[in-house]
Amino acid sequence: MPGRILVDITPLRESREFRLLFIAQLISTLGTQLTVVAIPFQVYHLTHSTLQVGAISLAQLFPFIAGALLAGPLGDSADRRGLMLWTASASVVTSASMAFNASLHHPSLLALYLVSSLAAGLMGFANTARMASVPGLVGQNYVIAANAMIQIIFQLGVIVGPALAGLLLGVGLPLVYSLDAGSFAVAFVATLLMAPIPPGSSTGLSPWQSTKEGLRFLRTHQALQGVYLIDINAMVFGMPRALFPAMAGSVFGGGTITLGFLYAAPGVGALIGAVTTGWVGTLKGQGRAVIVAVMAWGAAITVFGLVGTLWLALLMLAVAGWADVISAVLRNTIMQTSSPERFRSRMSSIQMAVVQGGPRLGDMESGAVAAASSLEFSVVSGGLACVVGAVVIGVLMPRFRQHTAGETDEIPV
């Protein structure tokens, strides 16, 4: 049945607020994905060091986590639309600053570290507010469909952004960063047109007390713990994107176009997966499905590290992306449907810290292992570690493994 294959677009059709959120995130994601390629490209061009590429990603990790975690308690007690507005305006400034730095005759590596780290903090803040807003905009019955639509946004950005960056880098880095600044300006306007998104109820707690309350809630829900841990496992060990600038030339014998293809390939598979997620809503064993999807991701990355032919490498990255989007839709759904409204921003903040923080730790891990051994060993060992980690998490966390659709899981304390 086509309805069980293709993504359900009902949330986009029936909710004006979700349409505006969709537009804001689509445009800003396209711009952000330009810088996902531009920043490591600029660092590698300035330093010729895979370790430095991993290091700048790690430098962005802590501000991102701080921004995401700060947005959690604020989003459960303040207007989430307002939070998205001020982060969009601040992001225009950070992207414009990177464009100015890149236009200098001798760009500052230190400035790139500092400004990109601030931009990462703003991204963590904004993404948390957006994710926590989704269930209230579409209703519980359409959470899976809305999450699939959000994944389509992200994967379109992952495909178009890097591919476009590969072309535009030949024109100049300032243009790439300037387009990113423009994307945040468009996102600001779209968000401004939305109605306010107040919290379900005020917690009446200070940010620190609110954070502690959220962590106590998490401690009693193993399904949520499993969602976060299995994603950390996949991204830390099975995400070798920091090696792409080096691999584009030394392994595949290409230039910036090849680099853009490597960054875009997982998004191609993920986009196909997101568009055909109609069947995902029929899955009952959501925990087991996440574990299998993460194992498939790790296996595809392992094969990617073993091949030296570009088309086959891109195919493996696409397969990995397909598996990852299935995992992402299910993980977001488990998190959102297992979290009451009053905890949703705080649980979303942890999810954002994991989703974006994990790849940055992975950049450092893959870059360091490659520097100590080889590019191929770093990719293959990471993919295998991802598979083993998924199995271990499934064994040690039975409540996560056995989680079914609509289940509320609590650990007796």
Q: Tell me what the mean pLDDT of segment 130-152 comes to.
A: 80
Cβ atoms of 233 and 294 closer than 8 Å? yes
pLDDT at 133 over 90: no
Give residue 4's pLDDT: 60
CA dihedral of 113, 118, 124, 129, whole degrees rounded to 10: -160
Confidence grade of residue 203 (pLDDT, cut at 50, 70, 90): low
- Asked if the model's pLDDT at residue 413 lies above 50, the reply is no
d(CA 217, CA 227): 14
In this structure, are residues 329 and 144 in contact, taking their beta carbons and an 8 Å threshold?
yes
**How confident is the model at residue 380, as a pLDDT?**
94
DSSP calls for 129-187: HHHHHHHHHH-GGGHHHHHHHHHHHHHHHHHHHHHHHHHHTTT-HHHHHHHHHHHHHHH
pLDDT for 2:
44
Q: Of how many residues is the chain composed?
A: 413
Residue 192: other Cβ atoms inside 10 A? 14
For residue 181, give both structure tokens.
Answer: 């600044």
* Nearest partner of 236 among 124, 371, 366, 351, judged by Cα: 366
More confident residue, 167 or 385: 385
In the chain, % of residues over pLDDT 70: 94
* Distance of alpha carbon 11 from the chain centroid: 21
Note the pLDDT of residue 193.
95
pLDDT given at position 1 = 40
Q: Among the listed ranges 177-186, 251-260, 306-315, 324-333, which one has the minimum average pLDDT value?
A: 251-260
User: Which of 31-35, 186-190, 333-337 shows the lowest mean pLDDT across its residues?
Assistant: 333-337
Residue 205 confidence (pLDDT) above 70 = no
Higher-pLDDT residue of 300 and 138 is: 300
pLDDT at 410 over 60: no
Between 345 and 63, residue with greater pLDDT = 63
Distances (CA, A) of 355 to 143, 330, 348: 18, 13, 10
- pLDDT for the residue numbered 335: 84
Could you report the per-residue pLDDT of 341-378, keeping only the tens digit for each? Answer: 777 777 877 777 777 777 778 888 888 898 888 899 99
Confidence (pLDDT) at 119: 94
Who has greater pLDDT, 318 or 7? 318
71: its two tokens: 């947005």
pLDDT in tens, 283-339: 788 899 999 999 999 999 999 999 988 999 999 999 999 999 899 888 888 887 777
Q: How far apart are CA 110 and CA 101, in angstroms?
A: 10
Nearest CA-CA partner of 39 in 25, 56, 26, 51: 56
Name the pLDDT band for 194 (thresholds 50, 70, 90): very high
Burial degree of 161 (CB within 10 A; 0-12, 13-18, 19+): buried
Q: How confident is the model at residue 229 (pLDDT cuts 50, 70, 90)?
A: very high
2-401 has which fold?
Growth Hormone; Chain: A; (1.20.1250)
Residue 81 has pLDDT above 80, yes or no: yes
Residue 282, both tokens: 């029929």
pTM of the predicted structure, to 2 decimals: 0.72
The full set of domain ranges for the chain reads 2-401
Cα–Cα distance for residue pair 8/276, rounded to 1 Å: 9
Question: CA-based Rg of the chain, rounded to a whole angstrom?
Answer: 20
CA distance 185 to 24: 9
What does the alpha-carbon distance between residue 176 and residue 208 come to, in Å, rounded to a whole number? 38
In this structure, what are the phi and psi dihedrals at residue 316, rounded to the nearest 5 degrees?
-65, -40
Residue 401, pLDDT above cutoff 80? yes
Residue 115: per-residue pLDDT? 95
